[in-house]
Amino acid sequence: IGGGLGAEGRRIRRERVFRSGELSRLTDDDLATLRRLGVRFIADLRSAKECDLLKSRLPDAEVHVHRADITMDVRIDGRHIMDHILDDPTPEGTARAVALSFGPTADFCGPALKLLVERLVHEDAPLLFHCTNGRDRTGVIAAMLLYLLGASREAIVTDFMLTNERIDVEIVVKNSILALNKAFGREVSREFVESVTLVKPFYIDTMFAFFAEKYGSPEGYLSHFDIDAALTGALRERLLER
């Protein structure tokens, strides 16, 4: 997620932080790339059920894997996200429901975000974090890491929208059908999955609106998970070029 501008116009270092989809299909060349990059820590943000469905292929024993076990059971105002979608299953209604899910998802991701920040501050080695499709949970984590580094909202959204260029839609649809059926205990249609595969810019805007409503500000959200100014400053010293 490096290369852009952060606080004080300092550029974010490259090849320090990587986001990805699930790792079950890594080739030998992919594993060699991870070794070349020096990745020593992988945060798997998927739920336990998702991990069982698609088992990661990992480089070797020298890579530590943290399993965050972040649920897909997202509820908005006490109701399951699928119920909100069924209220208005049009593409526009589905997108609105998915956008609203980004706030609760950020809450689920808070502990993992804190862990990753501490790891980046205290360990001088690249790390990778991933969920199933490299989109929602990873999108939240990447957005907040960029925010902590002082990136502009426009830059955060631009990075998020790269998701649509990098994902393999057919694989994402297949993975999503498996994971959603398992997580929700109900059959989901291919048409529904296709409608939520590509991300929208306003997903990030909706997440920040959630922070303002629930925590008063993004800083309030970060403070709730014990990410304070000192930790933010230390992260910037590690990941911003001088």
Rounded mean pLDDT, 80-105: 85
Helix and strand numbers (H, E) in the chain are 12, 6
For the chain, the average pLDDT equals 91
Task: Quote the percentage of the chain above a pLDDT of 90.
Answer: 69
pLDDT at 120: 98
Give the confidence band of 113 by pLDDT, cuts at 50, 70, 90.
Answer: very high
Checking if the pLDDT of 89 tops 80, the result is no
In whole angstroms, what is the distance from residue 216 CA to residue 211 CA? 6
Give the confidence band of 57 by pLDDT, cuts at 50, 70, 90.
Answer: very high
pLDDT tens digits, residue range 97-108? 899 999 999 999
Contact 134, 51 (CB under 8 A): no
pLDDT at 79: 84
The two structure tokens encoding residue 119:
């790891």
Give exposure, 185-216, as e/b (b: 16+ Cβ within 10 Å): eeebeeebbbbbbebbeebbebbbebbeeebe
Give the confidence band of 84 by pLDDT, cuts at 50, 70, 90.
Answer: confident
pLDDT tens digits, residue range 151-161? 999 999 999 99
Rounded mean pLDDT, 117-132: 96
Checking if the pLDDT of 86 tops 80, the result is no
Contact 165, 197 (CB under 8 A): no
Task: Say how many residues make up the chain.
Answer: 242
pLDDT at 62: 82
In whole angstroms, what is the distance from residue 93 CA to residue 88 CA? 5
- Those residues whose C-beta lies under 8 Å from the C-beta of residue 121, and which sit 6 or more positions away, are 231, 234, 235, 238
Does the model's pTM come out above 0.85? yes
Task: Quote the percentage of the chain above a pLDDT of 70.
Answer: 98
pLDDT tens digits, residue range 163-215? 999 988 888 888 778 777 766 666 777 777 777 788 999 999 999 999 999 99
